[in-house]
Amino acid sequence: DGLARDAAKLARASGARAVILEEALVSPVLARAARTLGAVDLIELALEGGEDYELLVAAGPAFERSGVARSFRRVGFFEKGRGLSLRKTDGSTREIGERGFSHRG
């Protein structure tokens, strides 16, 4: 569970680098959850948490132009390379690993 875990899996399977956009992570739902939980790092909660039951979908430009895409939220993109990074709102990036909850024992 968690965006970072699933994005890393997609990147690895695609042979590409996934870049998650920090500004896309703090949604009204996440902000409400943070208020309920107390003082938490919203970005870390978005990257590692899984209790919001969101689905991660990788789609190309044709999908983004379709009417269906309006009901989705773009949280990042793929580029050449390997791994997973977070592009912060100031334009800098930081590597993030595959982290989150594993259902394996």
38 pLDDT exceeds 90?
Answer: no
For 46-78, what is each residue's pLDDT tens digit?
A: 788 766 667 788 888 888 888 888 888 889 999
Beta strands 17-21 and 83-87 are parallel
Q: Which residues contact 9 (CB under 8 A, 6 or more apart)?
A: 98
CA dist 62 and 83 (Å) reads 25
Partner residues linked to 76 by β-bridges: 20
pLDDT at 79 over 60: yes
Sheet of 17-21: strand order equals 76-79, 17-21, 83-87, 93-95
pTM (two decimals): 0.77
Cα of 67 vs its chain's centroid, Å: 22
In the predicted model, is pLDDT for residue 89 greater than 70? yes
Tokens 């870390």 belong to residue: 44
